[in-house]
Structure 1
Amino acid sequence: MNIKQYLDSTYLKTAAQAGLSVDENILVTKGFIQEAIEERFKLIMIRPDMVCLAKKMITEANSTLQIGTVIDFPQGESSLEEKLAEAIQAIQDGADDLDFVCNYEAFKNGNVDLVKEEILTCTQLGLANKKVVKWIIEIAALNDKQIIQLSSLIKNVIVSNFEQELFPKVFVKSSTGFYKTENNLPNGATIPAITMMLENASPLPVKAAGGVRTYEEAVAMVQLGVKRIGTSGAKMIANGQKSNNEY
C-alpha cells in the first residue's frame, strides 16, 4: 500500500512547547516542510503562523504539497467570530485544509446549538473558498457515548445543509494530540474510537490523528476506512520504521 497518500505530516508545537527559541522552532518547521516536499506526502499540517513560510517553500520547490493548518487550537473554546477570523487569515495566507477544533466542552455541557452554529458557519466559509474542512472532536476528552453523539451531530449538520458532492471535503478528525489525559491514557486515535467515528460520521470521511506510530498501524487504520492520518513521524512510518514522536 502506498501509505504516503494518506499521511498528513504534522508539526504543531509552539517554540515554548518544544523547549526551543522562536528561531529554532522555525528551523524545525522548515525541516518538516522540506521533508514533506521531498517525500511527496499529501499535506503538511502546521500552525497558522507558519502557513506563509510553507507556501513560499512549496512554490519555490514547484511542489504539489498541500498546506493544512489548525484553527482555535487546541482548546476549541474561542467564539465563533474568533474562529472565523483565524480561518479567514489562514485562507488568505494560502492554507488548503482548515482543521477546526470543535467546542467539545460546550457540547459536553449541553450547548448543542452553539456547536451546530460553529460547524455550519465555519464549514460554509471553508467550502465557499474551496478548502477542505476538518472538525477535531478530541476523543480523549469524550466518553464513548459522546464520541458517537458528536460524530453524528457533525454528520447531520453537513448532510442537512450541503450538497452530497461536498461531503468528501468535510472530515471528522479524532484528536489534537495536545489533550492532557490522566494515568497516561492515549490522547490520540485508537481503533475502538475510530470505529465509532466511522460508524457515526459516515458518509463524511474520518481522519485519525495522533497515536499512529508504525506502518502496520497506519495500514490498519486505512483498512478500517480512515481517509487521512495525522502524524509527526510520517517519514518513519512510510519507511516501515516505528516513530517515537509523541503525535
Structure 2
Amino acid sequence: MYTGETITREELCRTFDHSNLKAYADEAAFRKLCDEAKENHCAMVAINSGPTALCHKLLEGTDIHVGAAISFPLGQTTIEEKVHETQEAIKNGADEIDYVLNVGEVKNGNYNYIRKEMEAIVGVCRSAGVISKVIFEICYLTEEEIIQIAKIAKEVKPDFVKTSTGFGPGGATVEAVKLMKQTVGDEIKVKAAGGIRSWADCKMMLDAGAERIGTSSTLKILEEFDAERKKEN
C-alpha cells in the first residue's frame, strides 16, 4: 500500500482509474481518454458499459484495463439486469466491473438482498477472471450502514469496495476510506472516487488506505504531483 510521501510517479499513475462517465461523451472523448491513459500508464479507463468494445479496441495490446460501470449511477435496477449488463460488458472486453449497489435496499435494512446482489455480480466476475468493485455511494449512508455492507463484502470477497460514483451530492471522504479499509481488512482493497480533483485530495485518500483512485482529473493531479516533487528536489 502506498503513501503520499513515498509514492513514485509511476506508482501513482498505476492507482488511477482514468474516468469519463459523462452522458455526452462521444467517440472523440473516448479516444482522448484512452490516449491519456496510455501516455501516463494508468491502471484503467472508467467508462459506462456502452463504449466498452470501443475502449477495448483502443487499448488493445496494452496492459491498461477497461472498466465498465454497471447500473450507473443510481444502482436502481434489478439483480438480473445488473448481472446481464455485467455479462455483456465482459463479453465486449471489460477487464473490471464497478457496479452500484442498491442503496434503497440498504435503507430498507435488506442486507440479504445486498448480499445476494453482491454474490451474483462478484460470481460472474470471478468466473470470467475479471476484477470486481462494489460502489457503496457513501453520501447516502450512515456509518453503521457502511460497516454492514463492508462486512458483507469481507465475506463475499469482491476485489474492491468503492466509496462513490461521483454523481451523488458527496464523494470520497478520508473517514469513509479508513472505515471501509478497517472493516474489510487486507484481503479486499479500497477505491476512493468522487470529488478527487487535486494531488492534495489524492494524497489524503492514499494515506487513508485507498489503493485505487477514480478521477477525471488525472492530468491535473499529475501536474500538481510533479510540481511538488520538483519543489522538494
Q: CA RMSD in A?
A: 1.6
User: Does residue 10 in structure 1 map to residue 9 in structure 2?
Assistant: no
CA contact (8 A) 2:167 2:194 kept: no
Q: Give the TM-score normalised by structure 1.
A: 0.83
Quote the Cα distance in structure 2 between the aligned partners of 1:12 and 1:144. Answer: 27
The gaps in structure 1 that reach 5 residues or longer are 16-23, 159-168, 182-186, 243-247
Partner of 2:224: 240
Partner of 1:56: 57
Quote the Cα distance in structure 2 between the aligned partners of 1:14 and 1:26. Answer: 12
Quote the Cα distance in structure 2 between the aligned partners of 1:218 and 1:177. Answer: 14
Quote the Cα distance in structure 2 between the aligned partners of 1:51 and 1:157. Answer: 26
Partner of 2:30: 29
User: Does residue 231 in structure 1 map to residue 181 in structure 2?
Assistant: no
The gaps in structure 2 that reach 5 residues or longer are 1-6, 227-233
Q: 2:19 is aligned with what amino acid? A: T
Note the alpha carbon deviations across 1:32-59, whole angstroms, 9 max, x for none.
1111111111111111111111111112
Aligned length: 216
Q: How do residues 45-194 of structure 1 correspond to structure 2 at under 5 angstroms? A: 45-59=46-60, 62-158=61-157, 170-179=159-168, 181=169, 187-194=170-177
Quote the Cα distance in structure 2 between the aligned partners of 1:142 and 1:131. Answer: 27
Report the alpha carbon displacement of residue 26 of structure 1 after superposing the two structures with TM.
2.4
Quote the Cα distance in structure 2 between the aligned partners of 1:13 and 1:27. Answer: 13
Q: 2:190 is aligned with what amino acid? A: V
CA contact (8 A) 1:102 1:136 kept: yes
CA contact (8 A) 1:84 1:122 kept: yes
Quote the Cα distance in structure 1 between the aligned partners of 2:155 and 2:41. Answer: 34
Quote the Cα distance in structure 2 between the aligned partners of 1:135 and 1:142. Answer: 14
Report the alpha carbon displacement of residue 241 of structure 1 after superposing the two structures with TM.
6.4
Partner of 2:191: 207
The 3-state SS of whatever aligns with 1:239 is: helix
Note the alpha carbon deviations across 1:115-152, whole angstroms, 9 max, x for none.
11111111111011000000000001112221222212
Quote the Cα distance in structure 2 between the aligned partners of 1:105 and 1:41. Answer: 33
Q: 1:138 is aligned with what amino acid? A: E
Quote the Cα distance in structure 2 between the aligned partners of 1:157 and 1:94. Answer: 24
The 3-state SS of whatever aligns with 1:13 is: coil
Partner of 1:197: 180
Report the alpha carbon displacement of residue 109 of structure 1 after superposing the two structures with TM.
0.6
Quote the Cα distance in structure 2 between the aligned partners of 1:191 and 1:84. Answer: 31
CA contact (8 A) 1:190 1:211 kept: no
The 3-state SS of whatever aligns with 2:14 is: helix
Report the alpha carbon displacement of residue 194 of structure 1 after superposing the two structures with TM.
1.1
Tell me: CA distance 1:241–1:227, structure 2 relative to 1, closer, same or farther (3 Å).
Answer: closer
